[in-house]
Structure 1
Amino acid sequence: MYMHTPVGIIGAGPAGLFLALLLSLEGIDSVVIENRSRAEVESTIRAGVLEQGTVDLMVEMGIGERMRYEGVVHHGIELRFDRRGHRINLHELTNGRAIMIYPQHEVVKDCIAARLQQGGQIFFNVQDVQLAGVDSDQPVIHFRHEQEQVELHCDFIAGCDGFHGVSRAYIPLSVQQVYSRAYPFGWLGILLQAPPSARELIYAYHQRGFALVSTRSPQLQRMYIQCDPQDDIANWSDEMIIEELQARLVTDDDWQLRVGPIVQKNIVAMRSFVIEPMQYGRLFLAGDAAHIVPPIGAKGLNLAIADVRHLARALTRFYQQQREDLLAAYSATCLKRVWRTEHFSWWMTSMLHRFPDDDPFQQRMQRAQLDYTVGSQAASMSLAENYVGLPFSV
C-alpha cells in the first residue's frame, strides 16, 4: 500500500501524539505508527509529574479537561534527611508555578482519544519499520501492518520511538556524537495500593540509600528505593521492600508510611544519554529517542513535550511561510534545554544517592549541599524553578 503524508511520526508515546495534535491545530496532516497495541500503550505506567508548561500546553490544546479534574496540583516538595523533612515551596519561589500529578498513561489516553476524534490516523501493532531517503526531500517509512506492506512517503519524519526505537540509527555514525553516563545504582520501584502517605513528593537521603514517595492516584502510590542495578527483583519480598522504605523514611515526628498490597515491582537502571545532533536531513528525533535523564527530576515526559513543541512550530513555519530557519535550528534549540535538564537531574541524583565509593568526605559534601539547598532562598529557588520547568523559550 502506498501512502503520503506531510509528516510521518514514529511512536505513539507522549512525544509522537503531542506532535500530531499540535500539527493538526495548524492544519498540517500526519500519520502516527506504533509497534505496540493501543491497550499496551495506554496501560504502560511511567512518570506522573507534569511541569507547569506541560499543563498549560495541554489546556491550550484542548486536551486538559480530564487532567484538571483528576490531576492533583502540588505546590511543594519535601527533602528529607537526618530524620527531618524540609519543604521547598515551589509556588512561592516561582511566582505561582507548580506541578501536576497526573500519570503519563492517562496523558496518552487523552491524546489518543483526541487524535481519533479528529479523524487522525494511528497505526498500532506495526512491524518491520525501516526508513529510506532521510537525507533527501522525499523520505519514506516502510512498515508492515496487519500483514500488509505499507510505503509511507513523507516530507519529514519525526522519530519519537524511544530509546530502543529504530529512528536514531538512521543518523550516520560519522555525524553523531553520543554522550552517556551509567550510574552505579538503580531504583527498585513499586506500585502500592494505599492512600497517600504525604501531601507532596518526598525525596529522602539516608545512610541506607535514597528513597522517593510519590503518588499516582488517591488509591495508588508510586515509591522507589535505591538498590544495586544488577539485583534480581526476586530477591526482594514485599515485606523487605516495605521495611526498607520505612527505615529510609523514618522521622522524629509522628509521620507514618501508609502501606497496602504491592501490585507491581521492578528494578530500573539509572543513566543519562544525549545524541547530537537531534536531526539529520529530513529526520528529527524527539523525546527518549534523543535523550534520557535520570528519573529523579521527573523530566523525561516534559522534555519530550518541549522537543515536539519546538518541532511543531518549525514545521508550521515551513508549511505556512516556506521558511526553514526554525527547522535548521531545531537541534541546537532543543539541546540547550536538554543539557540544562541533564544537569539538573544529575545534580539531584548526585546530592541524594549513596555511591559505592562514598567516603566520609563525600557524605559531608552531600550534607553540606542539602543544608545549603534547604537553608538558602537562592538555592531553594534554583531547585524550584528547574523542578516546575523552565519556560519553553529556554
Structure 2
Amino acid sequence: MSTLAPAAVLYEAKKPLRIEEVQVLPPQAGEVTVRMKAAGVCHSDLHVMKGDLSMPMPIILGHEGSGVIEAVGEGVTSVEVGDHVILVWRGSCGKCEYCSNGRPALCDMGTAMRFTGLMPDGTTRFQNSAGESIRHYAGVSAFSSLSTMPQASVVKIPKDVSFEHAALIGCGVITGVGAVEKAARVQPSSTVAVIGCGGIGLNIVQAARMAGARQIIAVDKFSRKEADARQFGATDYVDVNAGDPVQAIKDLTDGKGVDYAFEAYGSGKTAEQAFDATKKGGMCVMVGITSAADRASINVNQLVYAEKTLRGSLYGSTQPRKDLLLLIAMHQSGRLMLDELITKRYPLEGINEAYDALQRGEVARSLIVFE
C-alpha cells in the first residue's frame, strides 16, 4: 500500500522544482523506506535541473541525505525499523569486480540507478497524483520526505549523530576528504590548489589542512568564498575575476605550480586551469561534475615531459560503507569541521530559493530540513 508524502519533483529542465504530494510505494525484497530528516543542496542536482545532465523525467532529485528507517522489505538484514542512516548515492552490489577491488562507486548497479532513474529491478517506487511513475535520482531521491530505495543505499549510523551532520558527510564531505586522502594521498609540507570553493571544495581544503599541506591556495569567482576557504585552512585566495588564476597560482609558488591541484567546480575550462597549475611531477585530480558535452584541452606533452598525473575521483574514491563511519568518528574527535559548512537551512517548500542562493554563491552548504 502506498503512502502520500511531500516531495520536490522536476518535470522539465530549466523549470522550478514542483512541491507536491507523491505516492511512495512500499519496499520490495531487499529494499527499505527512509523518513528523510535532512538533505544537502548540492550542485550535482543543479546540473540536472539546468539540463546539463540529461535524465528521464519526472524525477525526484536529492542525493545527499539522512533519515530514519520507516519500513524494510523481505530479506533486509543491514538495518531495521527505527535505525538512523546516511544515504549512499552510489549503491553497490558488493559482488562485482569493482566492489571486490574496493572501488564500489564504479559498480554497474550504482551507475544504472544514477542514469536510468530506476530501481535495480527496472521499476520505480514513486507515482504522482495522475498515476504516472516518477524516477529516482541516484537511487535515493532525498528531496522526498519519504523515499524507498535498495538497502545498499543506506548505512546505519549511531543515533547520537546529528541528522544535519550525517547529510553533509554523505556527499560533500566524503567526496572532498576522500579526494585528498584516497585519490591524491596528499603528503605533508606539500602545496595544494583547490579550484571551486563550494561544499566539496571546502572539504578538499580542510582535508589538505589535516594532511599537513604547507600551502593551500583556494580559487573561486565569488569574493565571499575567501572567508569560508580561510576558515577551513586556505593560506591564500585567488579571485578569478582579478586575472588569470593559473598565473596567480604560479606567482604564489615561485613559478612552479602546485604539487596537487583539485578541480571542484565542474567545467572544461577549470579542468584545464587545474592541470596547467600543476607542477612538474605533480598530480591533478578532477572532482567536479560537468555538463555531459563538456570537454577540456590538455597539453599531452606535459603528461610526458613534466610527468604530471591526471586522474578522476568519484565519491572521493572511497568505500562509503566503511569511510562514512570513519568520518563521523573524525568529527566526534574534533578533527573534522561540519557546523561551519552550514550557511542556511530551508524547509522543502524553499528548495528553489535554496538553489538560487547556491547559484549566486551565497552559501557554503545549505540544507533542506524536514519536519
Q: Which has the higher helix share?
A: 1
Q: Which has the higher contact order (CA 8 A, sep 6+)?
A: 1
Smaller-chain TM-score bracket: under 0.3
Q: Normalising by structure 2, what TM-score?
A: 0.27
Indicate the structure (1 or 2) with the bigger Cα radius of gyration. 1
